[in-house]
Amino acid sequence: MTEYDHEPTPGLPGRLPGGERILWQGSPDRRTLTRTAFHALTVAGYFAVLTAIAAALVGSGGYSGVVMTATLGVVAVALLHVLAWGSARTTIYTLTDRRIVMRVGMAVPKCVNLPLATIASVDLAARADGTGDVALTLLGTPRIGYAALWPHARPFTIARPKPMLRALPDAERVAALVARYCLAACPDGRLTPVEYDHAPMPAFAEARAA
């Protein structure tokens, strides 16, 4: 038994109202989340450099400093992997024909309810391996803080947090699906193809409210 066994539908706090249907559910890819949200590779590289410097400067004190630095690095990276595993395991993103529900949080689980009519734009950050992040810009002033959303928030949007569906294995398809149903909820919106200046990436459309 887990703390989520009481959910009538996994990822949702209650039963859906009559007429509302689930279009898609998914969770972050653990490996991608470890690399892109918890930056385990960056931290590993940082400690590798520190260990190399400690080894180059080793003196009469022996290699105790080198061993300590390397050990701290291993512990830090292992902790990041555990956090990423826990985050991926406890996260479920749900798209219905009326809203997006983000069930997030390891220590304090919460459900973030985002009606499609309140979403101003849908942005996709795609990667070469097919994974990606889908960021949502909300109309008005967001009522949930950046810290409460993290890591399910677009980086560096502290003043105006943007919820983000992170590390999705099928990000391109999800972004297109979200954009399509956002337009259905806001018929005056439009689809704007995004042009890339770098190497070709999976194409997507950005939905914006008029």
Please name every residue paired with 191 in a beta bridge, in sequence order, or none if there are none. Answer: 207
Sketch the domain layout of the chain as residue ranges: 33-87, 93-208
Q: Are 122 and 134 in contact (CB under 8 A)?
A: yes
The pLDDT value recorded for residue 144 is 85
The SS3 of residue 31 is helix
Tokens of 200: 């070709």
| d(C-alpha 82, C-alpha 73), whole Å | 14
CATH match for 93-208 among 3.30.1490, 1.10.150, 1.10.3470, 2.30.29 = 2.30.29
Q: What is the pLDDT of residue 109?
A: 87
Per-residue pLDDT tens, the chain, 210 aa: give them.
345 556 678 888 888 888 999 999 999 999 999 999 999 999 999 999 999 998 888 765 668 889 999 999 999 999 999 999 999 999 999 999 999 999 999 888 899 999 999 999 999 999 999 899 999 999 887 778 999 899 999 999 998 999 999 999 999 999 999 999 998 887 666 655 544 434 434 334 454 443
Neighbours of 71 (CB within 10 A): 12
What counts of helices (H) and strands (E) characterise the chain? 5, 9
Q: Tell how far CA 201 is from the center of its chain.
A: 19
Cα–Cα distance, 100 to 152 (Å, whole number): 13
Taking residue 42's Cβ as centre, other Cβ atoms within 10 Å add up to 11
Sheet strand arrangement including 119-126: 164-168, 132-138, 119-126, 205-208, 190-193
Which amino acid does the sequence have at 80? L
pTM: 0.83
